């Protein structure tokens, strides 16, 4: 994205002249555009908003002699359009974040799973199926699935919740006892 082109005084003067014929007003417009570009980049989560702003301004300044005579409208809008393109290039070139692998299962985690499996095996088949089915799906699908499950059992949704809560309490007690026994060994 970075170019080797450096903003010269002549290109900067041409850019200011394009913004306004009065040099003081042109300077004020330039500063306002620069502030807004920095703000735009910062709000889009760019870690280097000033650098991207400078790149956008440099690109416009480089082209200003070609476009000034034919451009119609507010020059600030041209700056914002170029800044949008600079932003897209920045996002495209940004490296993908490295995914952190999940931690290796520790002995405690494996012991917890072993106790949970043991306790699930001690439940009657109906309770085991109910609790496994209850905790399937995610988000909206989970809500819909639980309503269907309550309908299949012919109970109100709150009754279903209470049944699962009781089964979960039994499992928690069983897992707690299992973990205490394994620690004592």
pTM of the model: 0.50
> Could you report the per-residue pLDDT of 127-150, keeping only the tens digit for each?
999 999 999 988 888 999 999 999
Would you say the C-alpha torsion 12, 18, 20, 22 has a positive or negative sign?
A: positive
- Compute the distance between CA of residue 59 and CA of residue 55 in angstroms, rounded to an integer: 6
Check residue 138 and give its pLDDT.
87
Query: Do 86 and 117 have their domain in common?
Result: no
Total domains present in the chain: 2
Q: How confident is the model at residue 173 (pLDDT cuts 50, 70, 90)?
A: very high
Query: Do 14 and 88 have their domain in common?
Result: yes
Q: What is the mean pLDDT of residues 142-171?
A: 94
Q: Is residue 1 part of a domain?
A: no
Q: Is residue 57 part of a domain?
A: yes
Q: What is the mean pLDDT of residues 32-46?
A: 94
Q: State both tokens at 47.
A: 């870690």
> Could you report the per-residue pLDDT of 111-129, keeping only the tens digit for each?
999 999 999 999 999 999 9
> 178: how many CB neighbours lie within 10 A of its CB?
19
Say whether pLDDT at 184 is over 80: no
- Compute the distance between CA of residue 125 and CA of residue 75 in angstroms, rounded to an integer: 73
Query: Do 115 and 178 have their domain in common?
Result: yes
Nearest-5° Cα angle at 84, 81 to 90: 150
- Domain stop point among 48, 65, 93: 93
- Compute the distance between CA of residue 19 and CA of residue 30 in angstroms, rounded to an integer: 7
Query: Do 20 and 88 have their domain in common?
Result: yes
Asked if 106 and 114 touch (Cβ cutoff 8 Å), the reply is no
- Listing DSSP states for the chain in one string gives ---S----HHHHHHHHHHH-SSHHHHHHHHHHHHHHHHHHHHHTT-S-HHHHHHHHHHHHHHHHHHHTTT--S-HHHHHHHHHHHHHHHHHHHSPPPPPPPPPPPPHHHHHHHHHHHHHHHHS-HHHHHHHHHHT-S-HHHHHHHHHHHHHHHTS-HHHHHHHHHHHHHHHHHHHHHHHHHHHH-
Look up the domain containing 149 and give its range.
Answer: 107-184
Q: Is residue 58 part of a domain?
A: yes
């Amino acid at each position: 994205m970075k170019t080797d082109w450096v903003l010269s005084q002549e290109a900067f003067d041409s850019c200011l002249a394009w913004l306004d014929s009065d040099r003081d007003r042109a300077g004020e417009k330039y500063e306002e555009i620069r502030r807004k570009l920095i703000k735009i980049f910062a709000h889009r989560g760019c870690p280097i908003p000033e650098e991207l702003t400078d790149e956008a301004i440099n690109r416009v300044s480089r082209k200003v002699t070609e476009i000034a005579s034919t451009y119609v409208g507010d020059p600030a809008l041209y700056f914002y359009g170029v800044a949008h393109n600079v932003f897209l290039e920045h996002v495209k070139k940004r490296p993908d974040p490295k995914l952190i692998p999940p931690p290796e299962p520790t002995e405690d985690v494996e012991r917890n799973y072993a106790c949970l499996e043991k306790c699930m095996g001690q439940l009657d088949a109906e309770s085991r199926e109910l609790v496994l089915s209850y905790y399937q799906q995610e988000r909206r699908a989970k809500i819909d699935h639980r309503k269907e499950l309550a309908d299949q059992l012919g109970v109100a949704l709150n009754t279903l919740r209470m049944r699962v809560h009781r089964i979960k309490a039994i499992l928690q007690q069983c897992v707690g006892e299992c973990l205490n026994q394994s620690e004592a060994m």
